Amino acid sequence: MTTAKYTFPTIHHRTIEIDGLEIFYREAGRTDAPTVLLLHGFPTSSHMFRNLIPVLADRYHVVAPDYPGFGLSSMPSREDFAYSFERYAEIVDNFVTKLGINSYTIYVMDYGAPTGFRLALRHPERITGMIVQNGNAYEEGLSPFWDQLKAYWANNSQETRDALRPLMSLDVTKFQYLDGVRDQTRVDPANWLYDQQFLDRPGNIEIQLDLFFDYRNNVALYPQFQQFFRDRQPPTLIVWGKNDSIFPAPGAEAFKRDIPKAELHLIDSGHFALEDRADEIIPLIQDFLERTL
């Protein structure tokens, strides 16, 4: 009788100093293989990619950083660090440069989209492809959920700011993971508990409110992101939880206007579709990378 042998890649959990900050990141795979850069959303961290990294690491160099104020990266004070998506793009740009990475496919989810698409504007020649999972770049992708944030953008008052504080509660964090999910037993409750402990750090809610206000600058950049899509036509896979009440399905479909050859898959899931539909999404990613890298 022959015993089957299984191999599991080594996943490294590292920190590196970028612009005076300790940036935590997960890394796996051969460093001379094509790189897949995983950019997380709100309110999570590179933890959201813990199941994806090992299945890609056999063929690719996989890197997933935590942004400042998220996960295990530094959380400098608001007085010492300008929390903005432009600054996040700069940090990630310096991060990949310090690691010696000069080309990459980006996986963008939620906050990862404005961060990753800014990288694309900075260095379009470095983008070998895009995997978009509930990462918005179109007005059609802003659901009524965003009305309260738009009120904040229009009037940055203490009242409009305070109205958004409940979005950092445990109930809302849990909601983001479970809303639109058919079988909630597929979602590990440790997800929202892990995320919440970082949101609950003293000072972090103010950081998140600063980022909510800065998000208006992402919307202003949508035309530039879309111009990049039209000009460069990057190989693109869209795997989108179609039941997402934050970034609804029309935001996914809009990519096809500018990248007609984009591969679009609307998944029967919600915002964090990779959590409950990894069995459906990961084979799509593996097939896409095999053909494009």
> How many alpha carbons lie under 13 Å from residue 47 in its C-beta half-sphere?
17
Rg of the chain's alpha carbons, rounded to an integer? 18
Burial class of residue 283, CB neighbours in 10 A (0-12, 13-18, 19+): exposed
**Whether residue 271 lies in the annotated active site:** yes
Q: Which residue has the tokens 């494009």?
A: 292
Phi, psi (5° rounding) for residue 210? -60, -40
**Which one is catalytic: 40, 47, 61, 271?**
271
Q: Which residue has the tokens 């591969």?
A: 263
Amino acid making up residue 182: R
Check: CB of residue 36 under 8 Å from CB of residue 60: yes
Helix ranges (DSSP H) in the chain: 52-56, 85-98, 112-122, 147-154, 158-162, 170-178, 190-199, 204-232, 249-253, 255-258, 273-276, 278-292
d(CA 262, CA 253): 10
d(CA 97, CA 119): 12
d(CA 92, CA 116): 9
Catalytic residue positions?
271
